């Protein structure tokens, strides 16, 4: 959530930034915020004046009674009673204004960083880095959804029988390579100084709100209505919420956490060839890295996280590129996002496998996540990234490493899965 003082002090800059993110009715919304805030401050001022007058009269009444000025004392009592009624009404008005202001503020997305490119669609994202050679496959090469049938390593029909579409069953070497990637990604994160967390995969509304999934992405989350809990779309949510309503000290920082979890996304409305096979699932495994940093350190931390994800893809020997997302393609809570895509040789297209983002103080403001500096509390910055999401990485491995004899396993994964070929 944006900070109200920033909006008040930087009205036009806020509107211009929101327009770069293609937020509808930016001017109208900011004017609404400032109007409600003005009304709130006027009500607060009137309430303070009313309470001060009531307190002054209360002190006078005793003196008037002692001085025998009964009529004046009774008049003061009558006025005090009226002031109490008035103050109660003002308190209700103030509460209503604060609630109205809050309801509008939570609908406003984060402001984009100055380096965010102009643009509205994914085609306008900027390619900032590319590495690796795109493999030339043999003539009989197949997309991964055919390979998994040929080698009987993932069963979509069985998953559909058990649960429904988008919930695959991994079998044999398919299951083992999943486990291998999870352990490899976790070990790499630990070597990079991250602290491992195993969080719950169900969250409450407060947690969903804290990181911005609620109310913005409620339709994309699986909701257990009986208990009013949500299945997590990413480990970012429970891990970041560990620090909700927490005031940290210098000794606690920086915080670097990593977590492996299954993730759940309804992906409502997804269909077509571009989401076939492992390209789009309702349940998938992912390793998430989360950092909490001082504001002046957060963009250095973002660069470090980008380098970490780069190292994973290079060790997997996959061709990849990094995109800096334009304003219109960024997430609701992000100030700057880099997307990583790997090239799928059989599908002949790029597949997104990671997003690494800096949310600056936006999530921290919703979470009330702060630290003390010079005796004062200040909001921290939060960052997270996929390191990595498994499905499209596996799809790319299966397709890019296929040979007429079978599918080779990237060398770095062989010690983890115990075989060199499927």
Per residue of the chain (422 residues), what is the pLDDT tens digit?
A: 999 999 999 999 999 999 999 999 999 999 999 999 999 999 999 999 999 999 999 999 989 888 988 899 999 999 999 999 999 999 999 999 999 999 999 999 999 999 999 999 999 999 999 999 999 999 999 999 999 999 999 999 999 999 999 999 999 999 999 999 999 999 999 999 999 999 999 999 999 999 999 987 788 999 999 999 999 999 999 999 999 999 999 999 999 999 999 999 998 555 555 689 999 999 999 999 999 999 999 999 999 999 999 999 999 999 999 999 999 999 999 999 999 999 999 999 999 999 999 999 999 999 999 999 888 999 999 999 999 999 999 999 999 999 999 999 999 999 999 999 99
pLDDT, position 215:
87
Cα 80 from Cα 65, distance rounded (Å): 15
Q: Counting Cβ atoms within 10 Å, is residue 416 exposed (0-12), middle (13-18) or buried (19+)? A: middle
The structural architecture, per CATH, of the domain 4-105 is Orthogonal Bundle (1.10)
355 assigned to a ligand binding site: yes
- Rounding to the nearest 10 degrees, give the CA dihedral for residues 112, 323, 208, 7: 0
Q: Counting Cβ atoms within 10 Å, is residue 139 exposed (0-12), middle (13-18) or buried (19+)? A: exposed
353 assigned to a ligand binding site: yes
Spatial CA neighbour of 333 closest among 290, 313, 362, 355: 362
* Rounded (5°) CA angle 163-167-170: 115
pLDDT, position 267:
80
99 assigned to a ligand binding site: no
* Rounded (5°) CA angle 278-316-300: 100
49 assigned to a ligand binding site: no
Chain region(s) in the chain for CATH 3.30.930.10: 122-417
Encoded tokens for 334: 């992000």
Encoded tokens for 22: 């293609």
| Phi, psi torsion values for 211, nearest 5 degrees | -100, 0
Please state whether the predicted TM-score (pTM) of the whole model is above 0.85. yes
120 assigned to a ligand binding site: no
14 assigned to a ligand binding site: no
What's the Cα-to-Cα distance from 200 to each of 84, 241, 242, 293, 378, rounded to whole Å? Answer: 48, 11, 11, 23, 28
420 assigned to a ligand binding site: no
- CATH number 3.20.20.70 given to 122-417: no
pLDDT, position 275:
80
384 assigned to a ligand binding site: yes
265 assigned to a ligand binding site: yes
User: Cβ atoms within 10 A of the Cβ of 354, count?
Assistant: 28
* Rounded (5°) CA angle 183-291-371: 145
pLDDT, position 268:
59
The number of residues making up the chain comes to 422
pLDDT, position 309:
98
31 assigned to a ligand binding site: no
H/E stretch holding 47: helix 26-66
pLDDT, position 375:
87
């Amino acid at each position: 959530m944006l900070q109200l003082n920033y909006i008040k002090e930087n009205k036009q800059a806020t509107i211009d930034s929101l327009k770069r993110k293609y937020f509808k009715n930016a001017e109208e919304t900011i004017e609404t915020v400032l109007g409600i805030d003005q009304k709130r401050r006027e009500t607060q001022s009137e309430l303070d004046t009313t309470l001060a007058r009531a307190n002054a009269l209360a002190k006078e009444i005793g003196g008037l009674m002692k001085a025998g000025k009964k009529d004046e004392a009774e008049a003061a009592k009558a006025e005090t009673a009226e002031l109490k009624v008035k103050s109660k009404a003002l308190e209700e008005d103030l509460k209503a204004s604060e609630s109205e202001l809050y309801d509008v503020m939570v609908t406003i997305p984060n402001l984009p960083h100055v380096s965010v490119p102009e643009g509205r669609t994914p085609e306008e994202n900027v390619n900032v880095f590319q590495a690796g050679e795109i493999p030339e496959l043999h003539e009989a090469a197949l997309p991964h959804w055919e390979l998994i049938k040929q080698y009987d390593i993932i069963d979509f029909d069985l998953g559909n029988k058990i649960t429904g579409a988008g919930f695959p069953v991994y079998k044999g070497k398919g299951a083992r390579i999943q486990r291998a990637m999870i352990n490899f990604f976790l070990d790499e994160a630990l070597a990079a100084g991250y602290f491992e967390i195993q969080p719950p995969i169900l969250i409450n509304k407060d947690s969903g709100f804290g990181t911005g999934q609620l109310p913005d992405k409620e339709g994309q989350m699986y909701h257990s209505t009986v208990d009013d809990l949500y299945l997590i779309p990413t480990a970012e949510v429970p891990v970041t919420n560990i620090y909700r309503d927490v005031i940290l000290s210098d000794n606690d920082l920086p915080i670097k956490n990593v977590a492996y979890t299954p993730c759940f996304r309804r992906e409502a409305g997804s269909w077509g060839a571009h989401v076939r096979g492992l390209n789009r699932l309702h349940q998938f495994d992912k390793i998430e890295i989360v950092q909490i940093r001082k504001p002046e350190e957060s963009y250095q931390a973002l660069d470090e996280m980008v380098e970490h994800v780069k190292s994973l893809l290079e060790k997997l020997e996959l061709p990849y590129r990094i995109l800096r997302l334009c304003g219109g393609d960024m997430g609701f809570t992000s100030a700057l996002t880099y997307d990583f895509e790997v090239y799928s040789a059989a599908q002949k297209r790029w597949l997104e496998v990671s997003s690494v983002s800096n949310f600056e103080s936006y999530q921290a403001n919703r979470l009330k996540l702060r630290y003390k500096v010079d005796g004062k509390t200040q909001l921290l910055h939060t960052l997270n990234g996929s390191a990595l999401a498994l499905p499209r990485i596996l799809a790319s491995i299966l397709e890019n490493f296929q040979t007429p004899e079978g599918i080779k396993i990237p060398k770095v994964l062989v010690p983890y899965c115990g075989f060199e070929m499927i």
